Every structure is written in C-alpha cells, then in structure tokens.
A and B are shown apart, each in its own frame.
Chain A
Amino acid sequence: MTTGAPATATPSVSSRFNVGSILREPLLGPLVALVIAIIIFSAVSDSFLNPQNVSLILQQSVVVGILAVGQTLIILTSGIDLSIGAVAVFGTIVMAQSAGANGPVVALGSTLLVCVVFGAVNGGLVTTLRLPPFIVTLGTFTAIQAATRLLAGSETYRVEKGPLTFLGTSFRIGSFSTTFGVVAMLLVYLVMWYALSQTSWGKHIYAVGGNPQASNLSGIKSGRVLFSVYVVTGVIAAIAAWAALGRIPNADPNAYQNANLETITAVVIGGTSLFGGRGGVGGTLVGTLIVGVLRNGLTQAGVDNLYQNIATGILVIVAVAVDQFARRRSQ
C-alpha cells in the first residue's frame, strides 16, 4: 500500500461455508499424516481397512478421545490438565457404587456433580490463587488418585447392563457396526467445535490463551473464562466416565493411569500449540485417530508394544517441533 494511492478495494469476505473454515492451515499437516499412516498400514496388513477393524480403532479411542476435547480447551488457554484422567476414573467409581444403591439416574447425576466440582476446584485454584495450571492439576491429580483408591477400597465394581453401559451398546449402519460411545465422542467434538468457532466464549478462550493482556484490555473477564473452561472439562470428564463404563463395565481404580499424557499427546499431535491460543478440537480428533491408527496398525504389523511407544513419542516431538518452528517464523 503506498501513500496517496486510489481507494483500495474492500477486502474479500467470502463467508460461504468453505472447507477452509474447518480445515484451517494447521490441521492440514496432521490430516496428511493420518492419511499416509492409513495408506501404509492398509498396504502392510489386509485386515486393516476392513469395517470391524475401523470400528475397533474408533471404539478404542472413545474415552481418551472424549477427554482430549477437555484437554484441548485447557491447553488453548495456555494451561494444562494433568488431573483429567483421574477425575474420570473417580467418576466411574462413583457411578458404579452409586448405581448399586440408587439406580442409574442418580448415579449419572452424582458423577456429573462430582466431576464438575473437581473441575471447579481446578478452575478456582487457577483463577483466584493464580497458581500455574501445571502445579494445580499435578496436585489435584495426586489427591484425586489417592481419593479414588480410598473410595474404591482397592476393589473393582461391576456395573449391570443398562443405562450406565448404554454407551457401549453397538448398532449397525448398513454393514458397519459401531457403538453409541463413538457417537457420543463425535457429538462432544461437534459441540465443542461449534462453541470454539461460533460463539464469543470460544473467541475469548483463544484470546485468553493467545494474548492475555489483549483480552484484559478488550474487556474480557479472563478469570471467568478460565474458570468456565475447567468446569466444562469436568462435564467432559463425566461423559468420559460414562463412556468408560460402557466400554468395560467394570469400574477400576487402576484404570486410565496414563490418560492425562495420552490426551496431551493427541492434542499436540493434532497441531494445537502447548503455548496457548492456537489450534482446535478438529486437530485433536485427527491426533486421537493418528494415535489409534498407529497403535492398531503397528500391532497388526507385529511391532512390539515398546516400539509403538517410541513411535508415539517421536511423533509428539515432531509435532511440537513443527509448531515451534512455524511460530518462530511468524514472529
């Protein structure tokens, strides 16, 4: 633009629903990686792409996939939640124990309440005491894990087939069989995608994570935004707890010990920046699928469990490195 130039044309607005509005640039990398992985594995193993295996990959991703949505929200605010898996596991114990005495509806309600309370505790400590989320959630993670063992008394609790295992029930679409848990996971992604991209709450989340001073100067109440994000994550953990019991109708205090790291893996591989303000749940879905495809595919190819972990670890480092590199270039 030069001084004294004639009136410039009004910039383009293209508000048509184009693919680009969902597939923002950072999503393309992980998506391509996913496609390549699928192509390679289907070449190596003929049973990889058949409908049962695809359904299996989806089902095995449900619990961590749902939790990863909550983790995405928190990482977008440049926080992190190490307690997310522990909250969900606590939720499963509450659900199973409560069901025995009070029936499924009360069980679901109690689980929701408990998980929301934990989310509020995390959120409260982060916003009012201004403690770093890493420290806060490290503390709550340790405490909640211990509380789970105390509550469960080192036993596991079976859940009766019924409303509490509903998310494990399968149904067919044509010849493809899947579970309601997969549907629930996709619904959670859809709702959060909508919230992040189509509501002011979503924009404020990006603002608080991307430039906290800017959001304060714009009049955004960052404290409220942060608190709400942690509470919403509590709700998501409750849904994950329900899905977990659907998948394995047995509430086990030892379960999902690594879920927090697995959700962070999915989020990071999906392109969301650990430094906040950049990324989204679309990437996390791709990241979750990449991890699921990788594990399933490498298992089918006969690769040892430990090598699978190495592969996942390298993928995380690559994803963060690419994000860092891109960030530096954009400064």
Chain B
Amino acid sequence: MTIGTSGAPVLEARGLVKKYGSVTAINGADFELREGEVLAVIGDNGAGKSSLIKALAGAVIPDSGEILMNGTRVSFKNTRDARAAGIETVYQDLAVVPALDIASNLYLGREVRRKGIAGSLFRRLDMPRMRQEASQHLADLKIGIKSVNQAVETLSGGQRQGVAVARAAAFGRGVIIMDEPTAALGVRESGQVIDLIRSIRDRGIPVVLISHDMPHVFEVSDRIHIHRLGQRAGVVDPKKRSMSEVVALMTGAEEPTDEERAGL
C-alpha cells in the first residue's frame, strides 16, 4: 500500500477565514487530507490550528472560504452536520461521561432502540446489541478492555482514550480527527494510541492528528501540515525533513520550499 502522499483528497479547505471582532483566528487557511493517510497538524500555540480544526469539524462556521469532502462542497452548520458527513472527532478531554458504561458512551447521542413495540412505544434501548457491537469495535482496534459493562471512570487514561478512539472509528466513515490524543498519557499508553492510529489508517480511514509531540508525529504520520499565523505554512514529508527542521519551519525560523508551500 502506498504511503498515501499521492492519494485522492478526502477533505479539503480553501481560503478559510474566521474573524472574532478584531481578532483573526483563521487567515485564509488551506487544508488537504488525502485518502489512506495520517496527516499531522502542528503549530505553535496561538497559530490557529484549533480554530481550523473546529471549522472542519463543524464547531465553527467560517466567514468565507470553502470546505470540500471528496470533491463536493459542503457547509456544516454544527457538529451534527459534520458527523453526518462522516467526520468524527476525538477531543482532547475525551468527551466521555464518567459514570456511564463503555457501551453507553460509545453510543452516546446515537443510542439503538429495540425492535418492535419495546423500542417504539416503550423506548427501550437494545443494550445487549450495543454492548455486543461495542465489544466488537474494541476488539477490531485491539484495545484490551475486559468488559464493556464497566463505567468509563474505572478505566486508565490510555483505556479511556481507546474508548474515545473506538467511538470515532465506529462511526467515522470519512475522516477521524484526533486532538492531542497522547498529551495526558505515559509512554506505554501513548504507544498504544499510536498503534490505534495505525489500525484506523490501515482500515482505510484517513486520520488528522493534532499533536505537540514531535516524536509521535514523526513516528506515525505520512505528511505533516505546518500551521502558522492562521494559515498553512506548508506540508512536509517526515522522511525528507528532520525534527529540528520541522520545528524551525513551525516557528518561522526557516522557510518551506515551494513544493512544500503548495501542499506537497
């Protein structure tokens, strides 16, 4: 399987702009995510990468510019629209409900009802089915959790991350965006998350990985999108550039090549 630097674009943005009063959060930013790849998005604090990601996930509506999915123009009014289009996000704080069990968390907002009268009249949820499917999703991603009946709060940090990722992978048909997934984790658990990212890519779903952790970025991403001053500074190939060069590009100490500036 090719590394994906030349796959068809799945999610693109062109010239996105978003201003909050006198503050420009997105300053004519471009973005391109290709089929079958892991694209890391890096940038210094205040570079505007979270605003960009929020626009892609439907949490922020840009003032101008366009977003395309698989070549077709889309406009998201809220995160629901984005999710309906197949974009799932794993948030930095995981967005799980601690006291609910794993299956309930996985299906939060998308609960499955039983068939027939139990479901329609009595609104009864099909917990056995949700549990079954949740277990399957976890197993598919090789996440080692013994029972899906446990409350999420009883899990370790890495396991919770696994649940959040499994949720995105279960429903993400188009793109999965991960916001700082290893920020709060130790070495071993970070390794597990990196494995998860690879699993998802290998299943055919491209991943957008926002991260400060350079070693992780270099370990798992196929291309690296560098964000600066509210715009895309360029896209680099981690095989062709070293970590220190990439950091320099990120801070503006160095300039990208023309090819990199154009998005590789």
Contacts and interface: CB of A to CB of B under 8 A. Distances in A.
B108 A11 contact: no
A278 interface: yes
B97 A14 contact: no
A278 B143 CA distance: 26
Interface in B185-201: 191-192, 195
B97 A219 contact: no
Contacts, number: 115
A213 interface: yes
A211 B144 contact: no
Interface string B81-121: 00100000101011111111000100011110100000000
Nearest to A25: B151
Sort chain B's interface into a size bin.
35 or more
Interface stretch (A2-10, A93-101, A285-293): A2-10
B123 interface: yes
A210 B98 CA distance: 6
B139 to A, nearest CB: 4
Contacts of A20: 149
B148 A203 contact: no
A90 interface: no
Contact of A278 (B94, B98, B154): B98
A219 B109 contact: yes
A330 B155 CA distance: 9
Interface in A181-215: 198-201, 203-204, 206-207, 210-211, 213-215
A210 B192 contact: no
Contacts of A15: 127-128, 131-132
Contacts of A278: 98-99
B153 interface: yes
Given A8-B144, A11-B135, A203-B111, A219 B98 contact: no
A215 B108 contact: yes
B209 interface: no
Interface in A1-35: 1, 3, 5, 7-15, 20
Interface of B: 79-80, 83, 89, 91, 93-100, 104, 108-111, 113, 122-125, 127-128, 131-132, 135-136, 138-139, 142-149, 153-154, 191-192, 195
Interface of A: 1, 3, 5, 7-15, 20, 198-201, 203-204, 206-207, 210-211, 213-215, 217-220, 277-279, 330
Given A15-B132, A217-B79, A219-B80, 19 more contacts: A1-B144, A8-B143, A11-B138, A11-B147, A12-B147, A12-B149, A198-B125, A198-B127, A200-B111, A200-B113, A203-B100, A207-B109, A210-B100, A211-B98, A215-B97, A215-B108, A218-B95, A218-B109, A219-B110
14 contacts: A10-B135, A11-B146, A13-B131, A13-B149, A15-B127, A15-B132, A198-B127, A200-B113, A207-B97, A213-B93, A214-B97, A217-B79, A219-B79, A219-B80
